[in-house]
Amino acid sequence: MRSSTRIRLIEPADAAPIAAHRVRDVEAFRRWEPEQPADFFTPEGQAERIDRMLAGHRAGTVWPGVVLAGDQVIGQVTVGGILPQPHLRRASLGYWIGSVAQNRGHAGQAVGLALRLMTDELGLHRVEASTNLENLPSQRVLRRNGFSPYGVAHSSIFLDGGWRDGLLWERILGD
Ligand SMILES: CC(C)(COP(=O)(O)OP(=O)(O)OC[C@H]1O[C@@H](n2cnc3c(N)ncnc32)[C@H](O)[C@@H]1OP(=O)(O)O)[C@@H](O)C(=O)NCCC(=O)NCCS
């Protein structure tokens, strides 16, 4: 039986496990995640990044979370670009799960939990996401959580040595 999936706000102590996942997965993630500077792969660099994300959280622009299986940090889920104005109330969602924990339903569960948080705690109305056209696992995660594709953003992200199209996804939250 797989261990349960939880999400919580990121903490400074998450820097080391996040760096360890990203070092191990640098090749596996190359097709899907943008290239990162060298300090992204060190606990110290991740600690600085976490400080910046928590400052964004205090400012209300981001909810930076980690995904847990049992008590182990296995990935991140980030509600970013929060626009809380009453006529917008929207944000975008990003996530990754370390290769050692993939294909056990953790991302699907984590996105479901993030949707609940966006509705109940952040009071949002709409969430958007973007996937590579060939990233079928990520598309499955979104479909399973009620997202629909609504367009293609051409040449929108530089990944693995070239500009790639992004498949755009939307989900209207319970209102
Ligand atoms: C995408 C990602 C977050 C999925 O995490 P995960 O915990 O493995 O996801 P889940 O186990 O919840 O779901 C994976 C789904 O993809 C399906 N899947 C796995 N490999 C697949 C493949 N090669 N082709 C099609 N579907 C595939 C699984 O069967 C499952 O679908 P199901 O629920 O219908 O059975 C993870 O693979 C990852 O972090 N990848 C690298 C970074 C990345 O892609 N980030 C997202 C950028 S948009």
Q: CATH number for the domain including 111?
A: 3.40.630.30
The rounded Å distance from CA 141 to ligand 1 centre is 6
Residue 3 has pLDDT above 80, yes or no: no
Q: Is 33 in the pocket of ligand 1 (CB under 6 A)?
A: yes
How far the first Cα of the chain sits from its last, in Å, is 35
Band (pLDDT 50/70/90 cuts) for residue 120 is very high
Atom of ligand 1 nearest to the CA of 135: 44
Q: Rounded to an integer, what distance in angstroms lies between the CA atom of residue 117 and that of residue 136?
A: 25
Q: Rounded to an integer, what distance in angstroms lies between the CA atom of residue 142 and that of residue 136?
A: 10
Band (pLDDT 50/70/90 cuts) for residue 104 is very high
Average pLDDT in the chain: 97
The rounded Å distance from CA 33 to ligand 1 centre is 14
Nearest CA to ligand 1 atom 18: 137
What's the rounded mean pLDDT across residues 100-106? Answer: 98
Band (pLDDT 50/70/90 cuts) for residue 17 is very high
The rounded Å distance from CA 39 to ligand 1 centre is 27
The pLDDT tens digits for 126-166 are 999 999 999 999 999 999 999 999 999 999 999 999 999 99
HSE of 15, CA atoms in CB hemisphere, 13 A: 18
Q: Which amino acid is at 24?
A: R
Band (pLDDT 50/70/90 cuts) for residue 174 is confident
- The predicted pLDDT at position 2 comes to 62
Nearest CA to ligand 1 atom 25: 136
Residue range(s) defining the domain that contains residue 166: 2-172
The rounded Å distance from CA 86 to ligand 1 centre is 34
Structural domain count, the chain: 1
Band (pLDDT 50/70/90 cuts) for residue 68 is very high
The rounded Å distance from CA 104 to ligand 1 centre is 9
Atom of ligand 1 nearest to the CA of 29: 41
Q: Is 108 in the pocket of ligand 1 (CB under 6 A)?
A: yes
| Most distant CA atoms of the chain, gap in Å | 44
Atom of ligand 1 nearest to the CA of 131: 48
- Angle, alpha carbons 113-133-38 (nearest 5°): 75
